[in-house]
Amino acid sequence: MIKFVYDNTLFDILYSDMQLQFPENELKSVIQFKKLIKNPNYQIINCYSDEKNIGYLFGYIDDYLLVDYFAVFKQFQSMGFGTKVLNALFERYSYLKGCLFEVEKIDNSNIKTKKRQEFYKRLGCVDSGINYLYPAPEPFSMDLLYYPLLFKAPQKESIIHFINTYFKVIHSDIPSIENILQEIH
């Protein structure tokens, strides 16, 4: 059984792991995270199985849950924990409209990108139908995948409204955020 613990005190350990598991251009700075942690909608969720911390989620929760970062620690990978964690997450937040994942586009020169896409799609995620840019100083295109909770199909206008709120809270440090938002449709 998966247990979620909402705890910011392990941030330094999690951030060290994030530096190993996420592309540098997708990783926020420690300063950015320290600001985000103060926002009650931004959650750090430690994931436990049999009292062992097996991974973590960072996410923004409002009408939707946008998973900002999700990882299973290396020693627990390929054991089914990723699926178990996300299924428990979907059950825990079943009252929300849906769950969103920013996922790298498939790059044929990087097999990990294809595996990530396949993982989320096996769980029941679908393309949101939104042309999505990851908000960074140099924005780049990503896929925005949708997992249905209350809304069985992606509601494009509702998701874009959520993204506008999310970006202005989470990515307020990016000077071109308004320009990036105009490109998302």
Domain of residue 145, CATH code: 3.40.630.30
Cβ(43)–Cβ(61) below 8 Å: yes
Using one digit for the tens of pLDDT, what is the confidence trace for 8-44? 899 999 999 999 999 898 899 999 999 999 999 999 9
pTM value surpassing 0.85: yes
Cβ(178)–Cβ(135) below 8 Å: no
State how many domains the chain has: 1
Q: Which residue in this structure is represented by tokens 């199985």?
A: 49
Residues ≥6 apart with Cβ < 8 Å to 101: 66, 67, 70, 120, 125, 144, 145, 146, 147
Range of the domain at 18: 2-183
Confidence tier at 113 by pLDDT (50, 70, 90): very high
Q: Which residues partner with 147 through β-bridges? A: 99
